[in-house]
């Protein structure tokens, strides 16, 4: 039976735009980044350039500006509602989700730079969920090293306490840091987040849900603290290829460092290293994508869909 695309579009909760159509919503939003800055912000094997920033991210920046302004207006209206009572203005939180190797980190960094260069000069912070992983020692003791990145490998309590403190307007909130060199949480590494205007919270499972309690008690999800959420998407075959390509590039660069957790892979032949990468993809990352990450895509407010060139070709925005 053929797919009725007209019916799908009619009943979809999203409005879908081509990259070219989306670019028209930029209006007069100024381009505040230069080519060198974009080159510094992009991740390994990510070809984002100034043209992509103009086409996709300036319109997205304008949209987010509208959401932040609406949030600020609602805050002022609540102050009136509470007769000027003690109401604390809290940060606007943007969640960014998606598979490994799809380009979440680049999206997060570019948005951070664009948002903090608005005329109002808001303070924008960026935190990733990597630091909230359990330390490798804990994962080994619980036989979870092969499920690192799966929901159960994160300290969900710490995640919720952090976001709760941020959303409560608390000052000097600490977030743990992660080292991709040692592939582990830094024991004494923290970044302090001090009441920013906007917080970008990036990670593969930030839109994850879990079973609801039968007694109806409150069980918060990470996404309950978000004001806006983005899912970076691509065809599975493309993400697979990007993951393998990145692994092979790292084998020639970062993995060469003797202190790298993956240093042993740099000593293997190209064929042997590729076989390792394929195994890591199939046994860990693909399973996580199927079981935990991809099912959260429909929960996002906006979906950035990338094509074979790693550039955004389609934008889906949830209807109001």
Task: Give CA 208 to chain center in angstroms.
Answer: 12
The number of domains in the chain is 1
pLDDT of residue 196: 95
- For residue 27, give both structure tokens: 């209006």
CATH number of the domain within which 47 lies:
3.40.50.300
Between CA 310 and CA 294 the distance in angstroms is 18
| Per-residue DSSP letter, 258 | T
- Whether residue 320 lies inside any domain: the answer is no
Full pLDDT tens readout for the chain, 320 residues:
555 556 566 789 999 999 999 999 999 899 999 999 999 999 878 889 999 999 999 999 999 999 999 998 998 888 888 887 767 778 999 999 999 999 999 999 999 999 999 988 899 999 999 999 999 999 999 999 999 999 999 999 999 999 999 999 999 999 999 999 999 999 999 999 999 999 999 999 999 987 777 888 877 899 999 999 999 999 999 999 999 999 999 999 999 999 999 999 999 999 999 999 999 999 999 999 999 999 999 999 999 999 999 999 999 999 98
> Residue 112 sits in which domain range?
9-314
- Whether residue 238 lies inside any domain: the answer is yes
Between CA 98 and CA 206 the distance in angstroms is 9
- Whether residue 164 lies inside any domain: the answer is yes
With 0-12 / 13-18 / 19 or more C-beta atoms within 10 angstroms meaning exposed / middle / buried, residue 158 is middle
Q: What is the pTM of this model?
A: 0.94
Q: Which of 42, 71, 70, 79 is closest to 57 using CA atoms? A: 42
- Whether residue 2 lies inside any domain: the answer is no
Between CA 147 and CA 204 the distance in angstroms is 13
Between CA 151 and CA 31 the distance in angstroms is 37
- Say if CB 198 and CB 124 are below 8 A apart: yes
Q: Which residues are CB-contacts of 45 (< 8 A; sequence separation ≥ 6)? A: 242, 245, 246, 249, 310
Cα three-residue angle 219-224-227, rounded to 5 degrees? 170
- Whether residue 4 lies inside any domain: the answer is no
pLDDT of residue 6: 63
pLDDT of residue 212: 76
pLDDT of residue 5: 58
pLDDT of residue 4: 57
Task: Name the residue with tokens 């046994």.
Answer: 283
pLDDT of residue 189: 94
- Say if CB 97 and CB 104 are below 8 A apart: yes
- For residue 160, give both structure tokens: 């919720």
pLDDT of residue 52: 96
pLDDT of residue 90: 87
Q: Which stretches of the chain are assigned E, i.e. beta strand?
A: 14-18, 92-98, 124-128, 173-179, 184-193, 198-202, 228-233, 302-306, 312-318
Q: How many CB atoms lie within 10 A of CB 75?
A: 14
């Amino acid at each position: 039976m053929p797919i009725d695309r007209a019916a799908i579009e009619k009943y979809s909760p999203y409005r879908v735009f081509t990259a070219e159509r989306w670019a028209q919503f930029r209006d007069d939003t100024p381009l505040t980044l230069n080519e060198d800055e974009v080159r510094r912000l992009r991740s390994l094997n990510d070809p984002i350039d100034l043209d992509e920033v103009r086409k996709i991210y300036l319109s997205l920046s304008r949209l987010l500006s509208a959401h932040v302004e609406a949030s600020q207006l609602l805050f002022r209206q609540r102050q009136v509602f509470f007769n000027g009572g003690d109401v604390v203005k809290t940060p606007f939180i943007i969640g960014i989700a998606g598979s490994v190797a799809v380009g979440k980190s680049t999206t997060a960094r570019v948005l951070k730079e664009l948002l903090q260069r608005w005329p109002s000069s808001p303070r924008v912070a960026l935190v990733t969920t990597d630091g909230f992983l359990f330390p490798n020692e804990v994962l080994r003791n619980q036989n979870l090293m092969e499920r690192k990145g799966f929901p159960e490998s994160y300290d969900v309590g710490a995640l919720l306490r952090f976001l709760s403190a941020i959303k409560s307007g608390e000052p000097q909130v600490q977030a743990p840091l992660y080292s991709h060199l040692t592939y582990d949480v830094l024991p004494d590494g923290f970044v302090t987040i001090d009441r920013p205007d906007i917080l970008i919270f990036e990670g593969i499972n930030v839109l994850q849900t879990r079973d609801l309690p039968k007694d109806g008690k409150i069980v918060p999800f990470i996404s309950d603290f978000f004001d806006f959420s983005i899912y970076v998407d691509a065809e599975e075959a493309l993400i697979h290829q990007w993951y393998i390509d990145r692994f092979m590039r790292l084998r020639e660069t970062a993995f060469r460092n003797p202190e790298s957790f993956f240093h042993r892979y740099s000593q293997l032949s190209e064929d042997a290293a590729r076989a390792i990468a394929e195994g890591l993809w199939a046994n860990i990352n693909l399973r996580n994508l199927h079981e935990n990450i991809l099912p959260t895509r429909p929960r996002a407010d906006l979906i950035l869909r990338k094509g074979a060139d790693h550039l955004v070709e389609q934008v889906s925005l949830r209807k109001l």
